[in-house]
Amino acid sequence: GKAIEIVQTFADTPRDRTRFEWVVARYKEVLGIDIELNPVEPTTYTGLTKDINTAPQMFFLGWCGDYPDPQNWLSVYWRTGGFAERIGYSNAEMDRLLAEGDKELDPVKRMELYAQAQELLITGADVAFLYNRVNAYMVKPWVKGVLPGAFDCLFAGDTNPFTITIENDQ
């Protein structure tokens, strides 16, 4: 059969150019897939990815939650009319599960609803979830009050300067 042309569009910055050259090389090396790079000016890239009518064939989107709760990812992003509309995603069952999860007060039932929604998403959306950022931190034993949390992406733990102390006996 005829080969499908795959084009990866990205914001043409030095960092992203290096990143996508590496990604495309891995696709070729590991999967034998040829992908053409389409660098575009960053503001143009942002505009293209905000509209389903101009969305490139293949592009990356990221998400950073505002608070560590599934509602801040699933409901904000994947509900019909949310950010995922950029790629044409809409699913009535997803909307139902998210609406129920958003109003459910029982934490166990709520997480069950969000888990069902997540399963629906990963098995039914036309997207590839590539990675979740995870950072590891080491905190010296004399630093007290750093509490590990779900948002340990920039700093270790809940970095509240009013709760962190340094013991002087070291």
Q: Does pLDDT of 33 surpass 80?
A: yes
pLDDT value for 22: 96
Rounded to whole angstroms, how far apart are CA atoms 4 and 143?
55
Between 139 and 13, residue with greater pLDDT: 13
Long-range CB pairs of 61-68 (<8 Å, 24+ gap) are 61/86, 64/153, 65/151, 67/151, 68/149, 68/150, 68/151
Any idea where the domains of the chain sit in the sequence?
Answer: 1-60, 66-132, 135-170
Rounded to whole angstroms, how far apart are CA atoms 21 and 41?
16
Least confident of 46-50, 57-61, 143-147: 143-147
Q: Is 143 helix (H, G, I), strand (E, B) or coil?
A: strand
Rounded to whole angstroms, how far apart are CA atoms 119 and 129?
13
Region at 32 (left for phi over 0; alpha for psi -120 to 50; beta for the rest): left
pLDDT value for 56: 94
Least confident of 57-66, 83-92, 112-121, 152-161: 152-161
Least confident of 57-71, 115-129, 141-155: 141-155
What's the whole-number mean pLDDT along residues 18-25?
Answer: 96
